[in-house]
A and B are shown apart, each in its own frame.
Chain A
């Protein structure tokens, strides 16, 4: 559906050339929710803008839905853009238009006759759950409602691809989740390919199938979300994964636990996919002569399975404890001994 080949974007600057995007290659499949994560300045914003021709690559080709976006111009590009919609961090609605009129705007651009336009607007308002707010102005809406208008507007011309530019970064956590659920729902119902950029791993975890990690213009890591969570390679990826799996307090907790338990082992278990749903702890206790104390745990859902971490304290005879750790390892669970006395 989307193919990015050897793409580079170089901006001239006073200190020489600034490589915003540096030799990026990506293939995004039809119907996929693809996430690009990176800190600000990593080049993800420039990258997503090349998918609808708002930015042109210095080198390389960008192909979306069979059209070479990096080559076409004028009316052909405008036609292509009607199939590649975009939603924005700050919504970018026209404040002079009501909700209905904002959603009708792309239909006006596409030249849809007014009666059909009204019908389509009503469908879209139902789809994004804004019934009753049709005649409100954007200034009368909450952030979440504004983004719903943005999504409805983006879907108006039945696009093939939806680009999300930090679409939830200006929203509070609860509203973020409801918007993400709406995006997943749209992806499933309409089979829409979604490309989103974000700096929040939470967003990637919740809805993406695959993720690319960007750092100073380069894609440094690419893979299915679960694989990246299970086995992050780059230091930057590890930091992003920690955003979700290890809340701030975990480190403090671990230190605190080490002070309290002087015998046995404190172990961090990492569960991926199916192993997260097996009764590993029950089996551990039944098969080994050890006591197990659960200290802290968390299971997160991703689009392709669950991912969890669990801190436990295993105590007992030294040999039994070692056996217990081996037992857990044999069950495809990641084991990391935090520290022992």
Chain B
């Protein structure tokens, strides 16, 4: 019966491309989490009245983040082709998608990290300073743990955005479910393939959202 409704779907290829999508999403989420948290911390700490309060540095980072956040992803991929070729050695394949995925998502996530950090009560930071904590201790033991639910729900949103970015990256040769839908579904007009690719992507998104919500609720002791 499945054969009847989905005559063009090659299940082996579907599975292979699902793995590619998961691979691209997984690596880029991990890298975005680290890079975005770092950027977010810099944005927060250098902002006016904070531990490293420094207007010029804050302005520089803020501008970089704003620029990369504003470039539409499909254009960013094209712009980054030279960089990708240097880093990965090719502009085709799953690994070639990673630099643009990370550079596209990290600034977006950095802003969410900054918002999460701003929500921490200033008094708590003051209390840690009054105990003689170093800035490093304040980052590791106050800022990150106290904002962790916000950081996790932020990375959940970012991860879902990254799933759709991988589909776009697929259109220019990165592989994954996006390229499957594009190459088979659109180019060869096989709508059943597009439909199945969509179903799998939806499943991935639901699972990410579920895991994110679960971890956030476990961490949130407020």
Where the two chains meet, the residues of A that have a C-beta atom closer than 8 Å to any C-beta of B are: 52, 54, 77-82, 84-86, 88, 90, 92-97, 105-106, 108-110, 137-139, 153, 157, 163
The yes or no answer to B187 lying at the interface (CB within 8 A) is no
B141 is contacted by which of A86, A108, A137 (Cβ under 8 Å)? A108
Q: Are A78 and B124 in contact (CB under 8 A)?
A: no
* Complex Cα gap A143–B146 (Å): 20
What A residues does B134 contact at CB under 8 A?
Answer: 78
B127 and chain A: residue at smallest CB distance: A92
Q: How far is the CB of B15 from chain A (nearest CB, A)?
A: 40
Q: Which residue of B lies closest to A98 (CB)?
A: B221
A61 CB, nearest partner CB in chain B, Å? 20
Bits for B174-216, please: 1 = Cβ < 8 Å to A, else 0: 0000000000000000000000000000000000000000000
Question: How near does chain A come to B201, taking the closest CB pair, in angstroms?
Answer: 34
Most-contacted residue by chain A among B124, B145, B146 (CB, 10 A): B124
Q: How far is the CA of A121 from the CA of B127 in the complex (A)?
A: 18
* Chain B nearest Cβ from A293, distance in angstroms: 53
**Which residue of A has the minimal Cβ distance to B134?**
A78
Contacting pair B131 A54 (CB below 8 A)? no
Within the complex, what minimum Cβ distance (angstroms) separates B119 from chain A?
Answer: 11
State whether B141 touches A88 (Cβ < 8 A): no
Given that A92-B123, A139-B222 are contacting pairs, would A105 and B130 also be in contact in the complex, using a CB cutoff of 8 Å?
A: no
Whole-angstrom CA separation of A106 from B129 in the bound complex:
10
A81-B132 contact, Cβ under 8 Å, with A88-B127, A94-B146, A96-B148: yes
B-side contacts of A106, CB under 8 Å:
131-132
C-alpha gap A97/B133 in the complex (Å): 17
B219 at the binding interface (Cβ < 8 Å): yes
CA distance A322 to B60 in the complex (A): 82
Contacting pair A94 B123 (CB below 8 A): no
Q: Which of B73-124 contact A (CB under 8 A)?
A: 121, 123-124
| Residue of A with least CB distance to B144 | A96
Cβ contact of A78, chosen from B132, B141, B221, B222, cutoff 8 A: B132
Verify B130–A54 contact, CB threshold 8 A. yes
Ordered by A's residue number, 17 sampled pairs between the chains whose C-beta atoms are within 8 Å are A52-B130, A54-B130, A79-B132, A82-B131, A82-B132, A85-B130, A88-B126, A90-B121, A92-B123, A92-B124, A93-B124, A94-B145, A95-B146, A97-B145, A105-B141, A110-B132, A163-B130
- The answer to whether A95 and B132 have CB atoms under 8 Å apart is no
B124 to chain A, nearest CB (A): 5
Residue positions of B touching A, CB distance < 8 A: 121, 123-124, 126-134, 137, 141-142, 145-146, 148, 219, 221-222
Taking CB atoms, residues of chain B closer than 8 Å to A80 are 132
Q: Taking each of A78, A81, A92, A97, which has the highest tally of chain B beta carbons within 10 Å of its own beta carbon?
A: A92
Taking a contact as CB atoms under 8 Å apart, the answer to whether A81 and B130 are in contact is yes
A163's closest neighbor in chain B, by CB? B130
In the complex, are the beta carbons of B221 and A105 less than 8 A apart? Answer: no
List of B residues within 8 angstroms of A52 by Cβ: 130
A211 to B45, CA, bound (A): 38
CB–CB A85/B146 < 8 A: no
* Cβ–Cβ < 8 Å partners of A93 in chain B: 124, 127
Q: Are A78 and B133 in contact (CB under 8 A)?
A: yes
In the assembled complex, the Cα of A341 lies from the Cα of B96 at a distance in Å of 101
**Bound Cα distance from A90 to B133, whole angstroms:** 19
| Contacts A85-B130, A96-B221, A106-B131 given; does A90 touch B146 at CB 8 Å | no
Identity of the chain B residue whose Cβ is nearest the Cβ of A84 in the assembled complex: B130
Q: Is the CB of B137 within 8 A of A109?
A: yes
Contact A96 B121, beta carbon cutoff 8 Å: no
Are B145 and A96 in contact, with the CB atoms below 8 A?
yes
Q: Which residue on B lies nearest to A75, using beta carbons?
A: B134
A81 to B138, CA, bound (A): 15
Cβ A94 vs Cβ B126 within 8 A = no
CB distance from A28 to the nearest CB of B (A): 18
Q: Given the known inter-chain contacts A105-B141, A137-B221, please indicate yes or no for A94 contacting B129, CB distance below 8 A.
A: no
Query: Does A54 contact B221, Cβ atoms closer than 8 Å?
Result: no
A82 to B134, CA, bound (A): 12
**From A94, A137, A153, contact of B142 by CB (8 A):** A94
Closest-CB distance, B11 to chain A (whole angstroms): 45
User: Which residue from chain B places its CB closest to the CB of A157 in the assembled complex?
Assistant: B131
Nearest A residue to B219, CB-CB: A96
